[in-house]
């Protein structure tokens, strides 16, 4: 299969490319002109990088590649900053124009990476068919608007759309401000880690498992919205405790005497649809956290 991917140099995108190449797929990755080829993606005869942007894509090269499917992962993902950035609106417009144009070059299958923040966060597993899509951040709103526009296009019968809502991805290469890496950084400097929302429970999924979930969606030609999560929640307190144990620095983990309110205190995927595709996670939480510590070349317990 020939796969065109945007965001291939990113955290999830690079993991997906490694997996896709191992399965014999051909990949063309859209790479912005000033960005270097990701070091964690080895050279491969089945991989080419196409220099360009969503709004100024190298269409002649895309046409020559002849993709069967386009995986769209390019978006702003900086923790905190991404939630209300005006760049979300820019990406919404650019993404829609780009993805619509790919159909002119033979792409009939589009898979988009959405977010759990498209949901109305509530107690209980978030269901693709039952939980309302009423995002309360600009990030979630723009992702959801892109999905709605593409779904309308798909109803014409000229395109197949799969939309994966990604939950809390972790692993080596994640942004240093994300929970796991931020804890590792502090512990590595022997700094105290104060947990402000220790009871918050999220669905953490290792990046390689996200990649295999996306692959399951593509290879099965899944239509519609599907959660990319494990279906299991883990409290922040447990994440910190496991990292403290791994790094032999549990004594540096403490909880704030005045815990902050988390607007999304319980975010867990209903993973029924994903598991029905034959997918199951291959990485435990502990194994994934150990890989993050190894990536920083720190000793394990």
- Span 172-212, pLDDT tens digits: 999 999 999 999 999 999 999 999 999 999 999 999 999 99
Nearest to 226 by CA among 217, 235, 218, 234: 217
User: Is 141 within 8 Å of 114 (Cβ atoms)?
Assistant: no
CB burial of residue 301 (10 Å; 0-12, 13-18, 19+): exposed
Residues 6 or more apart whose CB falls under 8 angstroms from that of 256 comprise 194, 195, 196, 198
Instruction: With H, G, I as helix, E, B as strand and everything else as coil, classify residue 186.
Output: helix
Q: Which of the four pLDDT bands, split at 50, 70 and 90, describes residue 301?
A: low
Q: What is residue 299's predicted lDDT score, i.e. its pLDDT? A: 61
Paired residues of 225 in beta bridges: 163
Nearest to 116 by CA among 210, 29, 184, 34: 210
Ramachandran assignment for 284, one of left (phi > 0), alpha (psi -120 to 50 degrees), beta (any other): beta
Residue 264 in tokens:
């999304």
User: Residue 274 gets which letter from DSSP?
Assistant: H
The single residue listed with the structure tokens 């144009």 is 101
- For the chain, the average pLDDT equals 95
Q: Is the pTM of this model over 0.75?
A: yes
User: Is 5 within 8 Å of 71 (Cβ atoms)?
Assistant: yes
Q: Which of the four pLDDT bands, split at 50, 70 and 90, describes residue 298?
A: low
C-alpha neighbours within 13 Å on the C-beta side of residue 33: 6
Q: Which of the four pLDDT bands, split at 50, 70 and 90, describes residue 157?
A: confident
CB burial of residue 35 (10 Å; 0-12, 13-18, 19+): exposed
Q: What is residue 238's predicted lDDT score, i.e. its pLDDT? A: 98
Region 208-221: mean pLDDT is 98
Question: Do you know the residue count of the chain?
Answer: 301
Mind listing the domains of the chain with CATH numbers?
2-167+207-228 (3.40.50.720), 169-202+232-269+283-295 (3.90.25.10)
Region 100-108: mean pLDDT is 93
């Amino acid at each position: 299969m020939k796969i065109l991917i945007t965001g291939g140099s990113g955290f999830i995108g690079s993991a997906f490319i490694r997996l896709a190449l191992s399965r014999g797929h051909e990949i063309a990755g859209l790479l912005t002109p000033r960005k270097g080829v990701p070091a964690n993606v080895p050279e491969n005869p089945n991989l080419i990088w196409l220099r360009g942007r969503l709004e100024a894509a190298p269409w002649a090269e895309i046409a020559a590649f002849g993709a069967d499917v386009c995986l769209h992962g390019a978006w702003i993902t900086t923790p905190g900053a991404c939630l209300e950035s005006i760049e979300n609106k820019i990406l919404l417009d650019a993404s829609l124009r780009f993805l619509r144009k790919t159909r002119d070059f033979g792409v009939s299958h589009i898979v988009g990476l959405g977010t759990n923040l498209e949901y109305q966060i509530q107690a209980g597993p978030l269901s693709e068919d039952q939980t309302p899509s009423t995002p309360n951040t600009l990030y979630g709103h723009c992702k959801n608007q892109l999905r709605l526009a593409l779904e309308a296009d798909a109803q014409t019968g000229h395109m197949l759309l799969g939309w994966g809502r990604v939950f809390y991805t972790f692993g080596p290469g994640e942004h240093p401000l994300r929970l796991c890496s931020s804890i590792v950084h502090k512990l590595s400097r022997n700094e105290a880690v104060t947990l402000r929302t220790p009871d918050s429970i999220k669905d953490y999924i290792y990046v390689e498992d996200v990649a295999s979930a996306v692959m399951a969606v593509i290879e099965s030609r899944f239509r519609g919205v599907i959660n990319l999560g494990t279906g299991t929640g883990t409290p922040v307190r447990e994440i910190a405790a496991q990292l403290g144990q791994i790094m032999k620095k549990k004594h540096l983990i403490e909880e704030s005497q005045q815990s902050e309110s988390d607007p999304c205190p319980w975010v867990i995927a209903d993973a029924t649809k994903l598991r029905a595709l034959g997918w199951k996670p291959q990485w435990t939480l502990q194994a994934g956290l150990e890989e993050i510590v190894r990536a920083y070349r720190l000793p394990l317990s």
